[in-house]
Amino acid sequence: MPVDRPTFSESWFRVTNLCPQLRPSVQVFRQQYRGRMWHVVQDPSSNQFFRLNDSAYKFIALLDSKRTVSEAWDICNDQMGDDAPTQGEVIQLLGQLYTSNLIRADLPPDTEGMFRRYRKRTGREVRGYLMSLLFIRIPLFDPDSFLNRWVKLFGAVFTKPALLFWLILVSFGLYSILGRFDELFSGGSRVLDPSNLPFLYLSFAGIKLFHEFGHAFACKKFGLAGGTGGEVHTMGIMFLVFMPLPYVDASSAWAFRSKWHRVIVGLAGMWTEIAVAAVAAIVWANTGDGHPVHTIAYNVMFIASVSTLLFNGNPLLRYDAYYILSDLLETPNLAQRSKQYIYYVIRKFIYGVRRPQCPAHSPGEKVWFFFYGLASTVFRVFISVRILMFVSQKMFFIGAILAIMAAVTWLMVPLGKFLHYLVTNGELARTRTRACLATLLFVVLVLSGIGLIDRPDHLTASGGVWFEPDAIIKIHSAGAGEIVSVLPCDGLIIQAGSDGKAGPALLKMISHRLLREREMLQLDLEILDQKRKLALSTKDQQALVEAIDLQIVAARSDLEKAEKEIAALAVKATMTGQWVHSLDNSIGTYVSEGQEAGIFVDMSRPVILTVAGPDIAPLLIEEIYEKGNEGARKVELRVNGRSDETFTGRILSIESEGKSELPFRSLGYALGGSVATSQDDNTGRKAAERFYEVLIIPDCESSVRLLAGQRVSVRFVLPDKPLARQWWRSIRQLVARKFRI
């Protein structure tokens, strides 16, 4: 694609007579990217790196402190023709190398002033880095000598035999948790318990220490093997959202000639982390619940999985996976060039700039740059906003300061630069009107979408299935006997028999007295039957036959009564519902007549008891009772763990007074619920902040079967509002919650 590269520059006279050269300490390494030769320039004293294409490096190589910039540029034009760098590119290259302290030259005052803008830009980057209170790094010591001493031992971790051992170890770790996934996932609900936080932090810091040393030893091993040294001179503490964690600077891996060595250095942290997690899985599976070792092992598994998925293993953030992806694609500076490509697309196709410089060198790179640029920008904004919200909830004033700084850094400053570009930049001289109109149209569309167009407004809360007292029927035994079988109360719905008949037996008992009585009655009937036959065979015994018949009738009546009493010992379901037997009713237990055998819940009359926070209940009260909006009574419901089954319901009532005692322990953090509980409460039922109970009646036509005590996610449907109003409401609620207003 033709690119507009002006050959000459009006500032050329300022550098034409300079005689710079690369500093003697600078090292140069050649690398291949997508078949093109690149040169990585490194300053070992500061560990600064700079990447040059082949034409730029040939120009820099001609500078030997005797040859002037003009002479070197003339030679490049003679040798490379159109591939030679332009005067503007030469000035930019010299300024960047001078700022990075990679060249030395005696600069006249006017040239020093021209290069000052690069220093200012670097100063702004440094100040912005220091102002980022979420990710401050404090270097503590130089670990290079320590790494040199132990690299032969720990560097063996990154060999083929070690890879085989790693696979076996991870396989054992996975095998140890097979069949225990329910226990594994249920433990995640207790990870953020206050009592577990010290163990969680120790586990986090420990596994990150292994992670960083993995990078360091891999960098040292392959640096020595490749002849680049792999020097690691900085190790310290990084405050990740105010939490101190170890970090190491392994940026010397950028000079490795082999991309696979660079990939292994990027993988080394996660490689080490997963190995530690596998050991933790084996320890967790073989220790008892409640033991500190068991708790720490679970925390290590949890951290390794969460941090790998969300951060180190996510290429959309500039952590390990990002650099691995860049090396595998042979596309250095993937994030920066993706952003530049998005700008290129806007300038070319929207603003109509003629022949803007495209940062992509092939059609494949264009696809990667476009989709990666969009995805990474959206995800970084999302994760940054979530972190700011988290900090604001825990430390409101610091969160507010960070939010203001973020608004200035991420919104106001870029907006000011963009307006300056839109009004003054020379490349828009012919298309400035088009660019301004396109920008204005975009702003109008965004503001309309946020501030004018109504969007669905939903609020979510947690609740539990509850049944009215008259829907719970106590089951009593009709006789005395010994339990021989009990229907387990595993949450299944017991169906009553058809045509009004009883359903399956909930509990079966046996009475040895009744069995003996039935046997005696059956024997008496057989004897009476034989007597009757004998009397009928004898003449003139009609009176005796009639007497025996009366005895047979009486005996059969007694036998029927005994049979009924024996049948009554089997307690059966008379309606459809959920059966819960008493805990002390086990096989072999003797039950006296009239003793409670369990309870049976009429499943046709469930109620959803919902816990609504102070940011939800007032809105519902306003919509339903003050504005008379009956449509706000409609809610959408989903049983936790069954995301594919949703149903609807209606709000029956809203408590006007706040409560602090949860109706179900399962709604609190301790048992995996979403309601924060008080740290000084051992019962798990005291909420951290007051709430309001909302009673919801599920719709009758719902086919979802509800069981007593199930957790239910409730979504309240409010009238549609623009996103701006919804966001402003959330901000006001956050401030009101913190200041109790």
How many CB atoms are located within 10 Å of the residue 307 CB?
Answer: 20
> What's the full length of the chain, in residues?
741
- Say if CB 236 and CB 141 are below 8 A apart: yes
Final residue of a domain: which of 569, 602, 635? Answer: 602
Q: In whole angstroms, what is the distance from residue 206 CA to residue 211 CA? A: 9
Which residue has 């020093």 as its token pair?
112
- Say if CB 288 and CB 195 are below 8 A apart: no
pLDDT value of position 263: 94
Residues 315 and 197 in one domain: yes
Residues 375 and 424 in one domain: yes
Residues 367 and 492 in one domain: no
DSSP string, 346-360: IIIIIS--SSPPPS-
Q: Which amino acid is at 410?
A: W
In a domain, 436, yes or no: yes
Q: In whole angstroms, what is the distance from residue 87 CA to residue 92 CA? A: 9
**pLDDT at residue 186 greater than cutoff 70:** no
251-309: pLDDT as tens digits: 888 888 889 999 999 999 999 999 999 999 999 988 887 778 888 888 888 888 777 77
- Of the chain, the end-to-end C-alpha distance in Å amounts to 62
Residues whose CB is less than 8 angstroms from the CB of residue 272 and which lie 6 or more positions away in sequence, other chains included: 157, 210, 211, 213, 214
Give how far the C-alpha of residue 381 lies from the chain's centroid of Cα atoms, to the nearest Å.
15
Q: Is 83 helix (H, G, I), strand (E, B) or coil?
A: helix
**pLDDT at residue 416 greater than cutoff 50:** yes
In a domain, 5, yes or no: no
Q: Extract the tokens encoding 621.
A: 């009260």
pLDDT value of position 143: 92
- Say if CB 637 and CB 647 are below 8 A apart: yes
Q: Extract the tokens encoding 67.
A: 């040859």
In a domain, 192, yes or no: yes
- Indicate the number of domains in the chain: 5
Q: In whole angstroms, what is the distance from residue 104 CA to residue 41 CA? A: 14
For 416-450, the three-class secondary structure string (H helix, E strand, C coil) is HHHHHHHHHCHHHCCCHHHHHHHHHHHHHHHHHHH
Burial of 269: CB neighbours in 10 Å, binned 0-12, 13-18, 19+ = buried
How many CB atoms are located within 10 Å of the residue 108 CB?
Answer: 13
In a domain, 122, yes or no: yes
| Domain CATH number, residue 668 | 2.40.30.170
Q: Extract the tokens encoding 84.
A: 């030679």
Whole-angstrom CA distances from 452 to 179, 292, 725 are 52, 55, 9
Which of the pair, 164 or 205, is modelled with greater confidence? 164
In a domain, 691, yes or no: yes
Residues 572 and 622 in one domain: no
Q: Is 56 helix (H, G, I), strand (E, B) or coil?
A: helix
Angle at 62 between CA 59 and CA 66, to 5 degrees: 135
Range list of H helices, 286-362: 292-307, 320-328, 334-345
Q: How large a percentage of the chain has pLDDT more than 70?
A: 82
- Say if CB 308 and CB 295 are below 8 A apart: no
Phi-psi region of 445 (alpha: psi -120 to 50; beta: other; left: phi over 0): alpha
Q: Which amino acid is at 177?
A: I
Task: Residue 195: give the domain boundaries.
Answer: 139-328
Nearest to 143, CA basis, from 27, 247, 243 = 247
Residues whose CB is less than 8 angstroms from the CB of residue 723 and which lie 6 or more positions away in sequence, other chains included: 449, 450, 451, 455
pLDDT value of position 445: 93
**pLDDT at residue 700 greater than cutoff 90:** no
Which of the pair, 334 or 680, is modelled with greater confidence? 334
Q: In whole angstroms, what is the distance from residue 38 CA to residue 122 CA? A: 24
Q: In whole angstroms, what is the distance from residue 64 CA to residue 62 CA? A: 6
Whole-angstrom CA distances from 106 to 73, 102, 173, 227, 422 are 19, 14, 62, 33, 36
User: Is the CA virtual torsion 230, 310, 187, 490 positive or negative?
Assistant: negative
- Say if CB 322 and CB 332 are below 8 A apart: no
310-345: pLDDT as tens digits: 778 889 888 899 999 999 988 888 999 999 999 999
Query: What are the residues facing 43 on neighbouring strands?
Result: 48
Phi-psi region of 323 (alpha: psi -120 to 50; beta: other; left: phi over 0): alpha
Q: Which amino acid is at 425?
A: N
Angle at 68 between CA 63 and CA 69, to 5 degrees: 75
Burial of 41: CB neighbours in 10 Å, binned 0-12, 13-18, 19+ = buried
Which of the pair, 17 or 388, is modelled with greater confidence? 17
**Mean pLDDT of the residues in the chain:** 80
In a domain, 422, yes or no: yes
pLDDT band at 602 (very low <50, low <70, confident <90, very high): low
Nearest to 342, CA basis, from 359, 327, 325 = 359
User: Which stretch of DSSP H or E encloses residue 732?
Assistant: helix 723-739
Residues 646 and 595 in one domain: no
pLDDT value of position 571: 74
Which residue has 């996103």 as its token pair?
723
pLDDT value of position 468: 65
Q: In whole angstroms, what is the distance from residue 457 CA to residue 279 CA? A: 46
Q: In whole angstroms, what is the distance from residue 599 CA to residue 480 CA? A: 18
pTM exceeds 0.85 for this model: no
Which residue has 């910039």 as its token pair?
69
- Say if CB 232 and CB 147 are below 8 A apart: yes
In a domain, 694, yes or no: yes
Range list of H helices, 569-626: 617-621
- Say if CB 492 and CB 708 are below 8 A apart: no
Q: In whole angstroms, what is the distance from residue 432 CA to residue 410 CA? A: 25
Q: Extract the tokens encoding 652.
A: 């029956």
Residues 490 and 446 in one domain: no
- Say if CB 717 and CB 460 are below 8 A apart: no
pLDDT value of position 350: 93
Range in 75-89, 245-259, 310-324, 675-689 with the lowest mean pLDDT: 675-689
Kind of pairing between the strands at 596-602 and 634-639: unpaired
Instruction: Pick from 222-236, 623-637, 660-674 the range whose average pLDDT is largest.
Output: 222-236
Residues whose CB is less than 8 angstroms from the CB of residue 165 and which lie 6 or more positions away in sequence, other chains included: none
Whole-angstrom CA distances from 512 to 350, 523, 586 are 93, 16, 18
**pLDDT at residue 490 greater than cutoff 90:** no
Angle at 735 between CA 733 and CA 739, to 5 degrees: 115
**pLDDT at residue 738 greater than cutoff 70:** no
In a domain, 112, yes or no: yes
Which of the pair, 350 or 603, is modelled with greater confidence? 350
Residues 619 and 507 in one domain: no
- Say if CB 582 and CB 597 are below 8 A apart: yes
Range in 181-190, 537-546, 619-628 with the lowest mean pLDDT: 181-190
How many CB atoms are located within 10 Å of the residue 426 CB?
Answer: 7
Angle at 243 between CA 208 and CA 213, to 5 degrees: 20
Q: Which amino acid is at 654?
A: I
Nearest to 68, CA basis, from 102, 98, 105, 96 = 105
Residues 29 and 144 in one domain: no
pLDDT value of position 563: 85
- DSSP conformational letter for 495: P
pLDDT band at 1 (very low <50, low <70, confident <90, very high): very low
Query: What are the residues facing 21 on neighbouring strands?
Result: 64, 104
Residues 22 and 122 in one domain: yes
- Say if CB 355 and CB 2 are below 8 A apart: yes
Final residue of a domain: which of 577, 602, 627? Answer: 602
pLDDT band at 134 (very low <50, low <70, confident <90, very high): low
| Domain CATH number, residue 70 | 3.90.930.60
Residues 256 and 112 in one domain: no
Final residue of a domain: which of 96, 131, 166? Answer: 131
Q: In whole angstroms, what is the distance from residue 509 CA to residue 570 CA? A: 6
pLDDT value of position 130: 45
Residues 177 and 259 in one domain: yes
Long-range pairs for 686-690: beta carbons < 8 A, 24 or more residues apart: 686/660, 686/661, 686/662, 687/611, 687/659, 687/660, 687/661, 687/662, 689/613, 689/614, 689/737, 690/614, 690/658, 690/659, 690/660
Residues 319 and 208 in one domain: yes
